[in-house]
Amino acid sequence: MVVVGAGIAGVACAVELLRAGVAVQVRERGHVAGGRMASKRFEGRPADTGAAYFTVSDPDFAAVVEQWRAGGLVREWTDTFVAYDRDGRRDVPGPVRWAAPRGLRSLVEHLARELPVTVDRPVLTVEPGPAVDGQQCAAVALAMPGPQAALLLDPALAEATGVAQAQHWAPALAAVLDFPARRWPDFRGAFVNDHPVLNLVCDDGDRRGDAAPVLVAHTGPEFAAGHLAQPADAGPAIEDAVRDLLGLPEPARQVHVHRWTYAKPTAGSAGTHHLDSDGIGLAGDAFGKPRVQSAWRSGRDLGRALVARVS
């Protein structure tokens, strides 16, 4: 079996196959596993540039998180964010948000530790058979946003193509802002409502637990859509918006902008995954809420369905 995509959904799918003794290969087009659970190092220090945190409500996912916690990979970060809107700033209690001191990508790498993952290996075509780049296999799992899966699928694979193309996705930009000092009012994460640029700002030093003067800001989809061609050009506007929001006197020393063309699904797919008679599986966070937990569950469920298919 071939799993395409080493985000948390693809890795969760492959773990189920491996556990059941089914031969599996995972192919990832990026240099590393993790997908949107992305962490990038700046002067040796990781900052989360994709998902900002994760929450837990599913007991099965909680068991995975417990293994990460026991291994020192995650910690409970906070259950209180603030919200900025027209009426000012207020506390917003919510579920516990979990953070990873070494970055969220470290969690996907931990799950994938026994898997044969080939990185820098983009898959170009999935054809009837099924065949992945011309290689026949028992089934293929495409664990990625629907528009990315649709690019690979031969139109003759009509059922999977239809499901993938029916999804709608919104973009986002994530900017890592490295300041000379921590001069902002105390907060963990801030929802920014009705703002032309921002929708979330997190204190990455607090999230990581090292008190570094680093903020990570996520933009709204409309602002991102206007900067997908040249995301770095959006850096000054994002920095100005963050400094204005938090009243920061000094400019950032460094701003890095990451583009997510397919950040979050706005119209997803039914069920927890797709698996059809052509042997094509689809998984990811579009099968549920756009969250780490949904992506994990989707991949896990597709893996179980594939095991049932071959046994």
Ligand X SMILES: Cc1cc2nc3c(=O)[nH]c(=O)nc-3n(C[C@H](O)[C@H](O)[C@H](O)COP(=O)(O)OP(=O)(O)OC[C@H]3O[C@@H](n4cnc5c(N)ncnc54)[C@H](O)[C@@H]3O)c2cc1C
Residue pair 203/189 in contact (Cβ under 8 Å)? The answer is yes
Q: How far is the CB of 181 from ligand X (least distance, A)?
A: 26
**Given the complex with ligand X, which of 181 and 302 has the nearer CB atom?**
302
Give Cα 102 to chain centroid, integer Å. Answer: 16
Residue pair 235/257 in contact (Cβ under 8 Å)? The answer is yes
**Given the complex with ligand X, which of 47 and 247 has the nearer CB atom?**
47
Q: Is the dihedral of CA 128, 133, 137, 140 positive or negative?
A: negative
* Residue recorded with tokens 């469920």: 301
The beta strand positions in 126-241, using DSSP E, are 126-127, 131-132, 135-136, 140-143, 168-178, 189-192, 198-203, 214-219
DSSP conformation letters of 77-141: EEEEEEEEETTEEEEEEEEEEEE-TT-THHHHHHHTTTS-EEPS-----EETTTEETTEE-S-EE
**Given the complex with ligand X, which of 8 and 212 has the nearer CB atom?**
8
**Given the complex with ligand X, which of 148 and 179 has the nearer CB atom?**
148
Q: How far is the CB of 284 from ligand X (least distance, A)?
A: 3
d(CA 283, CA 297): 9
Q: How far is the CB of 123 from ligand X (least distance, A)?
A: 4
**Given the complex with ligand X, which of 146 and 213 has the nearer CB atom?**
146
Phi, psi at 149, each rounded to 5°:
-65, -40
Residue pair 245/180 in contact (Cβ under 8 Å)? The answer is no
Phi, psi at 51, each rounded to 5°:
-50, 140
Residues engaged in binding ligand X (CB under 6 A):
4-10, 27-30, 35-37, 50-54, 122-123, 143-145, 148, 152, 172, 174, 218, 260, 263-264, 284-285, 290-292, 295
Residue pair 204/96 in contact (Cβ under 8 Å)? The answer is no
Q: How far is the CB of 133 from ligand X (least distance, A)?
A: 9
Q: How far is the CB of 11 from ligand X (least distance, A)?
A: 7
**Given the complex with ligand X, which of 4 and 245 has the nearer CB atom?**
4
**Given the complex with ligand X, which of 222 and 250 has the nearer CB atom?**
222
Q: How far is the CB of 292 from ligand X (least distance, A)?
A: 4
